[in-house]
Amino acid sequence: MWSKVYDWLDERLGLEDLYKGLLDRPEPHGNWWNTLGSASLFIFIMQGATGIFLTVYYTPSPDHAYDSIQYIMNGVAFGWLIRGIHHWGASLMVLVVFIHLLRVFYTASYKYPRELTWIIGSFLFLLTLGMGFTGYLLPWNQRAYWATTVGTSIAGTVPFIGPFIERALRGGTDISALTLSRFFSAHIWMLPALLTALIGGHLYLIMRHGESQFPELDD
Amino acid sequence: MASSNRVSRRDFVKVTTAVLSTIMGAVVGLPVIGYLIDPALKAQKSDTWIPLGPLENYPIGKPTLFTFTRSKVNGWEKTVNSYGVFVLQKSKNEVTVLSNVCTHLSCRVNWHEDVQEYICPCHDAQFDADGKVLGGPPPRPLDKYEIKVEDGDLFIHFVEG
């Protein structure tokens, strides 16, 4: 019964070819450091899923942001779990993506023909930091407020165009409702859209080139 | 080496992946269901007596609208809802209190003195002074409140949820 269903789908979707092409690739003998890319992807998906669920209750406005998170933590069943995963997952994602970057650097896996994979990966790292920065403001507590004050002020120290960048980030001269809603928009729409697109490119290139072979002792 | 009843490395990885994915999916997925339907499970109930003022304020034979507000905490926000009831004192101390919510689709009905009817502006439902359906789409008469009179003051039993 199920094999018939599977055959019907496979004939039309080419599942077997997909599996062979995408997952059943020959890989060089690696080690646990090679799993960090998959770990990053897994955390990204977790962050996406829990983030989507958080928007059910979170309200990006100065008079409701803090209270709506208090409600998620104390009023909704398992709200603490969903937000907890998102909160800790955020730190973990920065960490894992960064260690992934270090591993690629130290094993020199960025060399020909994988330069583009490395360049896209660098942008993925920056976008991950951007997600961390924009997400940090959303709880709208003292720490969020002052962290964003400091962060946007640092952006303001760029020569010549600094003050403009600062105003553009804040949506005005102060941290305000405009800052909160544009950080929210960046956090849930713009940055995730860019991340998803670049992850697609990153994965395509990995499947195209395979993983790099670590040098042997006699190489 | 590998005899047929030993699990191959590849199958072991497949089964382990499937089992771990299922566990992780369940640990996250099941709480999410509770998370999403939680407000529906906590339907708030309230049951209270609302004072409508001294009974003598209400003229005999003419339905009079009394409005009041009730506040309710929904999640992180307090919402104030307005309610209207028609108080009709038919004769001394014989009182009917009707909800002004049309039983068809919850629009608010008005008392029309010229035709002596409640008329709903949405779909022309008509009710008589007692709340009975005279015409239009409503499935049942206007809701009647349980009342009590204490020291000349009128109260209605207000139940929500």
Contacts of B111 (CB under 8 A, 6+ apart): B63, B65, B86, B117, B118
Chain-chain contact of B35 with A75 (C-beta, under 8 angstroms): no
Shortest CA gap B44–chain A (Å): 13
Phi and psi torsions of A41, nearest 5° = -60, -45
Tell me the C-alpha distance between B27 and B57, whole Å.
Answer: 61
Token reading at B122: 């949405």
Those residues of chain B whose CB sits closer than 8 Å to some CB in chain A are 28, 31-32, 34-36, 38-39, 41, 75-77
Residue A203 near residue A197 (C-beta atoms within 8 A): no
Q: Tell me how far apart the alpha carbons of residues B85 and B118 are, in angstroms, rounded to a whole number.
A: 12
- Determine the number of helices (DSSP H) and then strands (DSSP E) in chain A: 10, 0
Answer yes or no: CATH 2.102.10.10 is held by domain B46-160. yes
Residue A170 has pLDDT above 60, yes or no: yes
Question: Which candidate from B32, B34, B76 shows the least CB-CB separation from A71?
Answer: B76
Residues of B in contact with A59 (CB under 8 A): 76
Which CATH number applies to A33-107+115-209?
1.20.810.10
ipTM summary value: 0.85
Q: Which residues of B touch A85 (CB under 8 A)?
A: 28
Nearest to B88 by CA among B126, B128, B118, B130: B130
Query: Over its length of 161 residues, how does chain B's per-residue pLDDT go in tens digits?
Result: 445 678 899 899 999 999 999 999 998 899 999 999 998 888 778 889 999 999 988 999 899 999 999 988 888 898 899 999 999 998 887 899 999 999 999 999 999 999 999 999 999 999 999 999 999 999 999 999 999 999 989 999 998 86
Please list the residues that pair with B62 across neighbouring strands: none
Please enumerate residues of A whose Cβ is less than 8 A from a Cβ of B. 46, 49-50, 53, 56-57, 59, 64, 67-68, 70-71, 75-79, 81-82, 85
**Do A59 and B76 count as a contact with CB atoms less than 8 A apart?**
yes
Residues of chain A contacting B34 with CB distance shorter than 8 Å? 77-78
Which of B28, B31, B76 has its CB closest to that of A68?
Answer: B76
Give the residue extent of every domain in chain B: 1-42, 46-160
Structure confidence at residue A142 (pLDDT): 96
Query: Residue A202, exposed/middle/buried by CB under 10 A (0-12, 13-18, 19+)?
Result: buried
